[in-house]
Chain A
């Protein structure tokens, strides 16, 4: 029963990791850039919501919408203004560019808030659901439901619509897609925007249930990577499954071994998976992709 309760509380956290990993994966698949600043976009989403709700007094839903739209615009700007301009350079430049803007965002957050940790009112405070002896927290339920909707929308869009086929085409071959008249540049912009917006959605959802601090991004980046690695780098379904497994695993490790170990579960997952099975649980491709 204890294990089940732990797994349940890990599930909501895992759903957020899944969302972060999925958005990382989306940018990686569509532009081959691994966004090392992604965590800071998640953090930025959370901070925009905090600013709107606590300081401007706006309702949560409107703030959430605004945060997602803002981060979408930021994602497009980063791709077209920064990444696109160093396309000719070595690949390592993309990673450094992402690290650079990530630190800028983190610096802005720290300049505004200093070293304080910020609590936010529990806007998702629904009454808990009781299933037998299990308690399902109301906010976890709200988070899982929101993420489920987002995930279903994403997978339908990607695999079942015409737009999705265009996306798949560019993912497979930029050159080929360009030849049949797809605007690859605009596509990259939109994908970066979507990735940033999905990441921000993760930030928006954690804002009410966690303490905010500017270093939040680094944590989420590593959890996202761990989820992605676990599921198989570059696989959308794998990223989601990896996120959920990671969330549950963290709680089980915390409950049965030591709460100190929660922090490093993700690191250990990355190291173990890449050492033992580099293609991840569901990946079929080889580990290397330049």
Chain B
């Protein structure tokens, strides 16, 4: 029950927020999913991966194409966008079944992400090329999603369900297997856990969550362009996971909420964005490698992550 306290309190936000702040809060919800999904691979599985922007992008493009070309309503594209992300997660990590790990897998995900971005740019007929694809106004079971407030409530429900689902999953056999692989793959394999398949499963789950985030992003921004899913975006995802806290669901939420609004301040100062987030990553690695969630847990032990590990 404690879990639902935050979303219930959050329902009051539209009472205080103007349209701009409401937009930012909606964007935060998008990034909560992005970070939760990324953290599953980066923090829980302990596998370096660069494909997160690709998963995000494929979810956004899948949703945008279904809404723009096929005229589907928003509620109908959420699951397909998640599945598209999951499929991309599978493709990015399938070589893990052949024993490819650590840096090799990371490099494959890097190549895979850039390959997808190339496809967005050159697949003009489906994706609109560099101009991107405009997303039409949509509805959610008959309710028009034309205001930030309407979108907020829909997003809040989606995010709450997905985060709760991931939370339950992490406390299940599968979740424990994923964490066990991070800590010692050989020992995990000796418990008859198929480690290769579990790694792929983690990427698939991560792809689903991030893909759903992509669908929300497409609806919120109203246009998907290849530029949104490039290397500039990638450092933001890394920073959110690190600042929030590796392997912690609470951390993912904290990281997303803390950093979502920042890029707005760097508009008009080219380069400052990259410098800031690069430096943020360095500072957190040196000073607070366990992120904000460890700080919070220090002052409020009830929130301590069950899989938190010193050192």
B residues within 8 A CB of A34?
A: 103, 106
- Given A88-B311, A96-B242, A274-B95, A107 and B274 contact (CB-CB distance below 8 Å): yes
Interface residues of B (CB under 8 A from A): 42, 46, 48, 95, 98-104, 106-108, 110-112, 114-115, 118, 122, 231, 235, 238, 242, 246, 269-282, 285-286, 289, 311
Q: Which of B95, B103, B110, B122 has a CB less than 8 Å from the CB of A222?
A: B110
Q: Which of B46, B98, B110, B278 has a CB less than 8 Å from the CB of A103?
A: B278
B275 near A108 with CB under 8 A, answer yes
B278 near A104 with CB under 8 A, answer yes
Is the CB of A51 closer than 8 A to any CB of chain B? no
A114 near B231 with CB under 8 A, answer no
A278 near B100 with CB under 8 A, answer yes
Is the CB of A85 closer than 8 A to any CB of chain B? yes
- What are 24 A-B pairs at a CB distance below 8 A? A34-B106, A82-B282, A89-B289, A91-B102, A92-B46, A96-B242, A100-B285, A101-B278, A103-B235, A107-B275, A111-B269, A218-B231, A222-B111, A233-B104, A266-B111, A270-B107, A270-B111, A271-B112, A278-B104, A287-B99, A287-B100, A289-B102, A289-B103, A290-B101
A residues within 8 A CB of B108?
A: 270-271, 274
A274 near B122 with CB under 8 A, answer no
Q: In terms of DSSP, what is the predominant structure of the interface of chain A?
A: helix
- Given A99-B281, A103-B281, A114 and B270 contact (CB-CB distance below 8 Å): yes
A-B contact count (CB 8 A): 143
- The residue on B at minimum CB distance from A104 is B278
Is the CB of A109 closer than 8 A to any CB of chain B? yes
A104 near B112 with CB under 8 A, answer no
A267 near B112 with CB under 8 A, answer yes
Is the CB of A231 closer than 8 A to any CB of chain B? no
B residues within 8 A CB of A91?
A: 102
C-alpha spacing A158/B277, complex, angstroms: 37
Size band of the interface chain A makes with B: 35 or more
C-alpha spacing A102/B110, complex, angstroms: 15
Shortest Cβ gap from B136 to chain A (Å) = 30
- The residue on B at minimum CB distance from A270 is B111
- The residue on A at minimum CB distance from B107 is A225
- Give A111-123 as 1s and 0s: 1 = Cβ < 8 Å from B's Cβ atoms: 1101100000000
Shortest Cβ gap from B47 to chain A (Å) = 8
B104 near A103 with CB under 8 A, answer no
B residues within 8 A CB of A101?
A: 278, 282
B residues within 8 A CB of A225?
A: 107, 110-111
A274 near B278 with CB under 8 A, answer no
A residues within 8 A CB of B101?
A: 287-288, 290
Interface residues of A (CB under 8 A from B): 34, 36, 82, 85-86, 88-93, 95-97, 99-112, 114-115, 214-215, 218, 222, 225-226, 229, 233, 260, 263-264, 266-268, 270-271, 274-275, 278, 286-290
- The residue on B at minimum CB distance from A269 is B111
Other A-B pairs, 18, CB within 8 Å; known A106-B278, A233-B103: A36-B106, A86-B289, A97-B282, A99-B235, A103-B274, A104-B278, A104-B282, A107-B273, A107-B275, A108-B275, A222-B110, A225-B110, A229-B107, A260-B122, A267-B115, A271-B108, A288-B101, A290-B102
B275 near A222 with CB under 8 A, answer no
- The residue on B at minimum CB distance from A260 is B122
A residues within 8 A CB of B286?
A: 82, 85-86
- Given A100-B278, A107-B273, A215 and B231 contact (CB-CB distance below 8 Å): yes
- Given A95-B48, A109-B271, A288 and B102 contact (CB-CB distance below 8 Å): yes
- The residue on A at minimum CB distance from B113 is A267
A288 near B42 with CB under 8 A, answer no
- The residue on A at minimum CB distance from B276 is A107
A111 near B235 with CB under 8 A, answer no
Q: Which of B42, B115, B278 has a CB less than 8 Å from the CB of A107?
A: B278
C-alpha spacing A89/B46, complex, angstroms: 12
A residues within 8 A CB of B100?
A: 274, 278, 287-288
A96 near B271 with CB under 8 A, answer no
B residues within 8 A CB of A112?
A: 271
C-alpha spacing A178/B95, complex, angstroms: 36
B residues within 8 A CB of A266?
A: 111
A residues within 8 A CB of B246?
A: 92
Q: Which of B111, B274, B277 has a CB less than 8 Å from the CB of A110?
A: B274
Shortest Cβ gap from B256 to chain A (Å) = 17
Shortest Cβ gap from B181 to chain A (Å) = 12
A residues within 8 A CB of B102?
A: 91, 288-290
B residues within 8 A CB of A95?
A: 48, 103, 106
A residues within 8 A CB of B269?
A: 111
Shortest Cβ gap from B292 to chain A (Å) = 16
Shortest Cβ gap from A118 to chain B (Å) = 14
Shortest Cβ gap from A228 to chain B (Å) = 9
